[in-house]
Amino acid sequence: MGVRDFTAGSARSLNGVGKSDAGVEARRYGRSATLLATGIGTAGVLTYLYFALASHNLSRAEYGQIVVLWSAVMITISIVYRPVEQLLSRTIAERQARTLPIGRPLRIGALIQLGIAAAVAAATLLLRGPLETSALEGKTALYWVMLVSVVSFGASYYARGFLAGTRRFGLLAGLIVNEATGRFLFSLAVAVGIASGQAVVAAGIAVAPLLSLVVVPLAFVGRARGRPAPPPADATAAIAAEQEFTLASGAGFAGAVLLIMLSEQTLINGGPLLVRASVGASAAGFIFNVLMVARAPLLLFQGIATSLLPHLTRLRSRGSSGEEAFRLSVRGTLGAIAVFTAAVAAVVLIAGPKLMQIAFGAKFTYDRIGLLCVAAGMGVYLAATTLNQASVAEGKVRRAAACWVLCAFGFLGWNLLPVLTEFRRVELGFLGAALALCALLYVVYRKPVGRRADLLEPGSPAELEARLAAAEEVG
């Protein structure tokens, strides 16, 4: 059989499989996402209880300081550590779909993560004065909690990327639940009188990521006892893949995702810090509670987003045979988000202010319009996150990063304007930024990939030529 006949036969086979299996692939992804979302949903409830107990058992000023500490830690770790998580998730999923080894991405990812953790630790130590005195209002215990947290979360996020890429979603859910449980127990200890004080509540933030790693050894036990290793890939393809993934390429991908994470944290956690700077810690606690309307569903959605990236990456690695399943998965996720957002908005409209006071105490009075703005922004933001994962899976990470940065700057600029109140600026700014981000990412998602060579059809003449060229370079 000639190359032309082989290619035509493969294309017919792949197209047939793609159409018949699109629904199966979408349902398989749905089961994985449901499993992980259930675990993350449990973690979200535990995180909510952690803050609810803290709000009831600490003074307004002490609770506000916990919120500032949490926001600072979450912003830092999401910006600096999630890029490697995304790098591992996408690269491992792609390589396993092509039956290529994953050792090199794991080593390069670990090298990048260790370097980041060391840099973050050094920066935190060098900036101890302003961090402890200004941001944490002279609380030494809170500073040490911050230092331990921003270092230990590096290992936790590396483990998340590995488990997501290898589709060990049960263990990934266990890791996240362990983290939230450990944090919640410290707040519970203060609530029931076993311990007391702000420092104990804060300590849960530092201990939680270390407890999350308890499940990681089970992943290696499963690999040793579980499914047999896939057959080795073609030697030429394996050599080309090893040369293709380098420290520079991995760092380039991680750098683009870092910009996305920085922008994401600006939109989600920047509000309390902006209000803290202009009004005070108590006001930061209030707007933090308002944004929980968005933050809690976003935490739940992490289960879908985390499983969505490796799922879509595997589909894209199949070329045209996975295209229908790829689009079906994206559309299904967006549809579920629309239904969920409508339900949340209805609850907020009917009983939002009262529910907020039940949840966080009567220290604050909540505005129904502000809560509705945040609820609507939450739905649009979830849609934007879905489109972002699809764009990253398609290899458009730099274009997606440009959209995020633009919207983050717009959010900051809006909040610096002398209009409305500080709280309303944050609420409307979040909604406006989410709308703009969703529109921009939709354009990126729908625009064809510029470099089709990155998506070679298996068995095509282009793929055969690429393999021969790689072999010649190695020779």
pLDDT: which is higher, 283 or 52: 52
Helix H, strand E, coil C: the string for 413-425 is HHHCCCCCCHHHH
Highest mean pLDDT among 220-224, 346-350, 399-403: 399-403
pLDDT grade, residue 27 (50/70/90)?
A: low
pLDDT digits (tens, 9 = 90+) for 87-107: 888 788 777 777 777 777 888
pLDDT at residue 409 in the model: 92
**In the structure encoding, which two tokens stand for residue 334, read together?**
């967006």
Torsion of CA 158, 455, 315, 459, to 10 degrees: -120
Lowest mean pLDDT among 310-324, 382-396, 457-471: 457-471
pLDDT grade, residue 310 (50/70/90)?
A: confident
Query: Mean per-residue pLDDT for 104-124?
Result: 88
| Maximum pairwise Cα distance, the chain | 78
Q: Are 154 and 116 in contact (CB under 8 A)?
A: yes
CA-based R_g, the chain, Å: 23
Beta-carbon contacts of 277 under 8 Å, excluding residues fewer than 6 positions away, are none
H helix intervals, 60-197: 60-97, 103-126, 128-130, 140-165, 169-192
Assess whether pLDDT exceeds 50 at residue 287. yes
The distance of Cα 174 from the centroid of its chain, to the nearest Å, equals 16
pLDDT grade, residue 405 (50/70/90)?
A: very high
Q: Are 330 and 390 in contact (CB under 8 A)?
A: yes
Assess whether pLDDT exceeds 60 at residue 326. yes
Return the percentage of the chain with pLDDT > 90, whole number: 7
Assess whether pLDDT exceeds 50 at residue 4. no
Buried b (16+ CB within 10 A) or exposed e, 101-136: bbebbbebbbebbeebbeebeeebeeeeeebbeebb
Domain parsing of the chain, residue ranges: 21-222+232-474
Return the percentage of the chain with pLDDT > 70, whole number: 74
Q: What does the DSSP assignment read for 17-56?
A: HHHHHHHHHHHHHHHHHHHHHHHHHHHHHHHHHHHHHHHH
pLDDT: which is higher, 52 or 223: 52
pLDDT grade, residue 406 (50/70/90)?
A: very high
